[in-house]
Every structure is written in structure tokens, then in C-alpha cells.
Amino acid sequence: MIFWFIHLEFVIKCQVYHSSFVGEEGITKACGFPLLPLKSHIKGPAPVSDQGKTDIVDEAITFFRANVFFRNFDVKSPADKLLIYLTFYINVALKRLEGCRTLAEGTKAIINLGLENVPVPGESGFPFPGLFVLPQSQKEAELLRNYLKQIREETSGRLLSVAYRPNGTPNKWWLAFAKRKFMNIIIP
């Protein structure tokens, strides 16, 4: 009985982790997504960030195992919307990696995920209708699609390095989170 009260108090005090990219000045936006800089060698519309600085992909991977438990996410900045999108994407990627027993199998699964169509707000398959504004033009939709493709590819590469150990075996402390549903969204 006492444990239940302690657990309830812990749940009440827990809050979702928010992005530190709150007041980014001069950042281009598309459909409400901030096109934040990435530490990436992958070609795309994202500005290049310093290798020593934390970027939004680092935050998404770092906060994933805590944020995935929440059904609601209080959005405090546009960067939080991108963090929500990346948390969902990591959840989808882990679901794809769930049956992969080697890094080679996992890499193949992630490459196949990267080849899939990237929906933008207003298209079927976009996981958060209503959270993002619809594109005002085809140019804006393509800019966002290319940014999301770039950030998904960067996230996938970094995720493989934590989901698998250096010897190529799965890291059960990461792949166990494939069973979680972020914000009660069912992953196909």
C-alpha cells in the first residue's frame, strides 16, 4: 500500500523532457517544423551544426527512453514538435529492429525504412494530424519532406550505434522499448 502511494507521487512529479532549442533565432520553418541544424554528412536542406554541439537528434535519442512512456506531450516550443516526431520515428525504427539479431540485419531493416515514402502534414500516413500546419505550397511540402528524410536518415544511423553493441549483437536495453506505444499511436 505504501509503495502504491510512493509510485503515484513519482508519476505525478514526472514530466516529459523538452527540447533545449527553445529560442533559436533565424531558423527556417516549414509546416511548423523548425529546420534545426544537424551534425550530419547526409545531404539535405538542414543547416550544418558544429560536431561538438548537441543537436535535436542527440536530444531525441537521449530523451527517448523517458519520453516514450508519456501519452501526452505539452508542447512548449516548435522544437518540441520536432522532438515528438523524432521520438515517434525512433519508436517505429526500434519496432523494425525488433527481430533483427545482428547489426547487418538491423542496418538492412533501417535502410528499407529509409526508402519508404515520407508523408508530410495533410497526407495520409502522417502520424500527427492537427499538430502541424498544412503546407502553404508544394515548395514548402518538398522542403519539409527533404528535411524529414535527412533527419530520419541521420537518426537511423545514430540509433543503430546505440541499439547494437560494438560486437554487433542487439542491446536489449534499447530494443525492449520497441514494445512501447508513444502517445498511444499504434505502429504498423
Residue 109 DSSP SS3: helix
Top-confidence residue, 109 or 26 = 109
Within a domain: 114:
yes
Within a domain: 53:
yes
pLDDT band at 158 (very low <50, low <70, confident <90, very high): very high
pLDDT at 169 (0 to 100) = 92
Residue 135 in contact with residue 144, Cβ under 8 Å?
yes
Cα separation, 99 vs 95, in Å, equals 8
Average pLDDT over the chain, rounded to an integer: 81
Partnered with residue 170 across adjacent β-strands are: 164
Within a domain: 187:
no
Over residues 107-132, mean pLDDT = 87
pLDDT band at 145 (very low <50, low <70, confident <90, very high): very high
Within a domain: 56:
yes
For the chain, how many structural domains are there in total?
A: 1
Within a domain: 157:
yes
- Residue whose cell numbers read 502534414: 121
Q: What is the CATH number of the domain that holds 120?
A: 1.10.1760.10
The model's pTM: 0.83
Over residues 172-181, mean pLDDT = 78
Top-confidence residue, 178 or 98 = 98
Partnered with residue 33 across adjacent β-strands are: 30
pLDDT at 110 (0 to 100) = 92
**Residue 133 is part of which domain span?**
29-181
Within a domain: 46:
yes
